[in-house]
Amino acid sequence: MTVSSPPRVLTVAGSDSGGGAGIQADLKTMLALGVHGMSVIAAVTAQNSVGVQGYWELPPEAVRAQLGSVLGDIGVQAVKTGMLASPVLVETVSEVLAGVGAPVVVDPVGVSKHGDALLAPEAVETVKARLLPVATVVTPNLWEVSQLTGVKVESEADLRKAADAILELGPAWALIKGGHLPGAPTDLLTDGTREFRFTAERHDNRHTHGTGCTLASAIASHLALGEDVPSAVEKAKEYVTGAIARGFPLGGGIGPVDHAWRWRG
């Protein structure tokens, strides 16, 4: 019997010791969607359901070595980036990914679900100048849009303005996540010419830790499986909406979305 290898997706992000977000959420998402997940750890967090108690960056040479190990031997069909913490790590990762011929999904992580900073203020300009230009898709939430562009999104009517401001920074596509606006959660995807809106049911569930990581990893997974960007986003949105609906309590704070919701039935 000949066994074929599944598509390969690499996440470059931070570790979440509580297992709800970061590298752990990325790898769970990739497994659930049928791809082989690989990881480059850029930072380690001490984190649980009530917040981030601390984080420690890995040395840039350690991040570069991990990238070299995976890319030089195994290869990738898509890449997702998350928490990169500092200017030097953003520069290191951006330099390597600029030479990778696979789609790159950038989740420009600035803060945790609990409001804890995960990106040094001085790294914002590096993200704008170095990382976003290598991105196939950038997936900011409304706070990250403001951090990166200064644009304030106060209603669904502002989503396109926000997307255009993100596109000016160099990515091929911008996906503006409108889940924090009133009404049905609506995300806007555009490459500057084509525009798509994705709406889902709003679930009354506070256990949503890892939503952003999960969505970006799901997009990368579907790109690796051969979908184009709009189709990958549509399928990723469907997956993360189901995961939010089945999010479960964990510890004394905000629990995670359920990456295995399709298996649990």
Which residues carry out catalysis? Answer: 177, 208, 210-213
CB contact at 8 A, 241 and 200: yes
The CA distances from residue 178 to 157, 158, 255, in Å, are 11, 10, 21
H/E element, 60? helix 60-69
DSSP helix/strand/coil, 95: helix
DSSP-based three-state secondary structure for 10:
strand
| Under 8 Å between Cβ of 69 and 41 | no
Name the DSSP class of 52. E
Six token digits for residue 211: 């939503």
Dist CA 65 CA 62 (whole Å):
5
Tokens 């502002």 belong to residue: 158
